[in-house]
Structure 1
């Protein structure tokens, strides 16, 4: 069992490169930081790059911090419909648009390990009582009031008790929405020109580089230490948790052809 941390499971980000005529949308927990770092080094002064900040050196990212450029107005607009609206239809239609997809069952395991990575909040555990499991069974109104106190206070509650994978899927998964708004337009159709598959990350990234005219390079390996156990994702699931993820990610499974593999 692992303790839980309120730190968001990855921050959505994006790159709009006018120099190379591409738009990269970065969903959560799909190795997006590795691709973002690789692409950002080719961006020009007029390109829009949302910042990679607040890196934790425990998770091998401190060497890749960059402040972002021209990102004003885009930090909250990194989903597909919002970026298209803000950028304008002519540029949206002209630029090469891509993102990364990942098997939902594997993605949820990654979410679990990122959310429960070992952050040192031990001093607070002795000063705050209660039970995490009881807290998550409180009415939604009560939980929202707790969150309204601020992230730092709420993190205290999250660290009260160890969290199993089953508990994470059953009670906490609803607080981590699927990445659909990075892929689908309002009609439910995929609104991008290309999807890098996490399972073929390096080769698909090479295809993107060829398409947008960038030199091909090896992707940096980032955020890999938060999941120390490299067991196949299928080993984490029972029938109940498998179906919970299938229900929540049904749109992704149907559109991208993912399935629960045999161990």
Structure 2
């Protein structure tokens, strides 16, 4: 099985400048792009929902979206907060990057390489983590419930369905190397060479308190904006999915996150 990895999509060619292009990130110093010209399912709602603008010049915030960490709700929150601040951006140099249509789960190191060290240092960078046992149940159900609505995930969806159980899912590449369609563990999104390169890492479990702390540190008012719960998967409580062996599988994979953020099963 070859896991789906958006960084393996083809680089932009000069002849494609007039096409609709998706900026994916930077690897080995080269910009990576994907052509968004019509294919199967193009133009449908489902073909666009993996794209997102996570750079907010109006409030000077960059949101690093780890899969299955309330990212849709947080993106909506930061978007509304940006609107509340009006047309005068705090960090206008971010505007050209904010206008790009980008893959929603780019890692901090990719975003930093894209916009440059100086501008990165002036923005306020935010990421959120989640209880790993809960996160991987959510990822499993994403493959079963949400991924089938994206035509380009068809082969991967069939592989997950063929696994037949959550425990088999955890033992596969989907469970040992990936979160949703992306290869990586949570710290890979906010670290580079083992060092944090964002300004704040919150927890989904304390999301309201963390958003207050983010506003205080970034010098922002609340704007009267309330966080909404968006894009949930339907499932039972995460503990019902585990036995002792599968619980330990998560503990091994996410040991750093569990220890650093004090997570318990």
Tell me which of the two structures has the higher relative contact order, counting C-alpha pairs closer than 8 angstroms and 6 or more residues apart: 1
Work out the CA distance in 2 between the residues paired with 1:219 and 1:175.
Answer: 30
Work out the CA distance in 2 between the residues paired with 1:33 and 1:78.
Answer: 14
Query: What corresponds to 2:175 in structure 1?
Result: 173
Query: What corresponds to 2:57 in structure 1?
Result: 18
Q: Does 1:38 align with 2:45?
A: no
Work out the CA distance in 1 between the residues paired with 2:96 and 2:159.
Answer: 32
The number of equivalent residue pairs is 202
| Residue 227 of structure 1: how far off its partner (Å) | 2.3
Query: What corresponds to 1:218 in structure 2?
Result: 226
Work out the CA distance in 2 between the residues paired with 1:154 and 1:12.
Answer: 20
Q: Does 1:227 align with 2:234?
A: yes
Work out the CA distance in 2 between the residues paired with 1:92 and 1:159.
Answer: 37
Does the C-alpha gap of structure 1 residues 249 and 12 become closer, same or farther in structure 2, counting only changes over 3 Å?
Answer: farther
Provide, for residues 112-148 of structure 1, a one-character-per-residue CA deviation record: whole Å limited to 9, x for no partner: 1111127879xxxxxxxxxxxxxxxxxxxxxxxxxxx
Work out the CA distance in 2 between the residues paired with 1:202 and 1:11.
Answer: 25
| Residue 28 of structure 1: how far off its partner (Å) | 0.1
Partners of 1:183 and 1:192 within 8 A in 2: yes
| Residue 238 of structure 1: how far off its partner (Å) | 1.3
The range that moved more, 150-159 or 164-173, is: 150-159
Give unmatched runs, 5+ long, in structure 1.
1-6, 51-68, 122-149
Work out the CA distance in 2 between the residues paired with 1:18 and 1:100.
Answer: 20
Partners of 2:60 and 2:123 within 8 A in 1: yes
1:103-122 to structure 2, matched below 5 A, reads 103-117=131-145
CA RMSD of aligned residues (A): 3.3
Work out the CA distance in 2 between the residues paired with 1:17 and 1:105.
Answer: 31
Work out the CA distance in 2 between the residues paired with 1:244 and 1:181.
Answer: 19
| Residue 76 of structure 1: how far off its partner (Å) | 8.1
Structure 1 runs (4+) deviating above 6 angstroms are 118-121
Partners of 1:30 and 1:107 within 8 A in 2: yes
| Match 2:199 to one of 178, 193, 196 | 193
